[in-house]
Structure 1
Amino acid sequence: MQPNSASAKILIVEDDFEIGNLLASTIQESGMLPTVAEDGNVMQSLLRSNSYDLIILDVMLPGEDGLSICKRIRSERTIPIILLTALGEEVDRIVGLEVGADDYITKPFSPREVVARIRSLLRRASYGLTSSSAQRKLRFDGWVIDPMRRRLHDPGNARIALTTTEFDLLLAFCRNPGRVITREELLLFTHSGLAGPIERSIDVHISRLRQKIEADPREPTLLQTVRLGGYTFTASVEEV
Structure 2
Amino acid sequence: MARVLIIEDEPKIASLLSDYLGHAGYDPVIAETGGAGLEALQQHGADVVLLDLMLPDMDGLEVCKKIRAAGNTPVIMVTAKVEEVDRLVGLELGADDYICKPFSPREVVARVKALLRRMASVSLDSQDQNKDNPSGITLDEDRIEVRYQEQSITLTVVEFALLKTLAERPGHIRSRQQLIDRIYNDNRVVSDRTVDSHIKKLRRKLADAFPGVEFIHSIYGAGYRFELTDKEA
- How high is the TM-score relative to the length of structure 1? 0.86
**2:193 pairs with 1:225:** no
Please report how far the alpha carbon of residue 82 of structure 1 lies from its aligned counterpart in structure 2 after TM superposition.
0.1
Paired residue secondary structure (1:55): strand
Task: Tell me the amino acid that sits aligned with residue 52 of structure 1.
Answer: A
Higher normalized contact order (CA 8 Å, seq sep 6+, divided by chain length)? 1
Q: Distance in 1 between matches of 2:185 and 2:53?
A: 20
Match of 1:160? 153
**2:196 pairs with 1:203:** yes
| Correspondences of 1:123-138 after superposition (within 5 Å) | 123-130=117-124, 134-137=128-131
- Structure 2: gaps of 5 or more residues: none
Match of 2:30? 36
Please report how far the alpha carbon of residue 13 of structure 1 lies from its aligned counterpart in structure 2 after TM superposition.
0.2
Q: Distance in 2 between matches of 1:25 and 1:131?
A: 33
Task: Tell me the amino acid that sits aligned with residue 188 of structure 2.
Answer: A
Q: Distance in 2 between matches of 1:89 and 1:70?
A: 18
- Pairing partner for 1:175 from 150, 163, 168: 168
Match of 1:71? 65
> Aligned pairs, how many?
229
Paired residue secondary structure (2:4): strand
| Correspondences of 1:26-175 after superposition (within 5 Å) | 26-130=20-124, 134-137=128-131, 139=133, 142-147=136-141, 150-155=144-149, 157-175=150-168
Question: Are the structure 2 counterparts of residues 70 and 140 from structure 1 closer, same or farther at C-alpha, using a change threshold of 3 Å?
Answer: farther
Residue deviations 1:96-118 (CA, integer Å, cap 9, x gap) = 00001000000011222111110
Contact 1:97–1:205, Cα closer than 8 Å, also in 2:
yes
Please report how far the alpha carbon of residue 148 of structure 1 lies from its aligned counterpart in structure 2 after TM superposition.
6.5
Q: Distance in 1 between matches of 2:115 and 2:63?
A: 19
Contact 1:39–1:62, Cα closer than 8 Å, also in 2:
yes
Q: Distance in 2 between matches of 1:20 and 1:132?
A: 35
- How high is the TM-score relative to the length of structure 2? 0.89
Task: Tell me the amino acid that sits aligned with residue 93 of structure 2.
Answer: V
Contact 1:8–1:33, Cα closer than 8 Å, also in 2:
yes
Match of 1:4? none
Please report how far the alpha carbon of residue 46 of structure 1 lies from its aligned counterpart in structure 2 after TM superposition.
1.2
Q: Distance in 1 between matches of 2:125 and 2:107?
A: 30
Please report how far the alpha carbon of residue 212 of structure 1 lies from its aligned counterpart in structure 2 after TM superposition.
1.7
**2:20 pairs with 1:23:** no
Find runs of 4+ consecutive structure 1 residues off by over 6 angstroms.
none
**Aligned Cα RMSD in Å?**
2.6
- Structure 1: gaps of 5 or more residues: 1-6
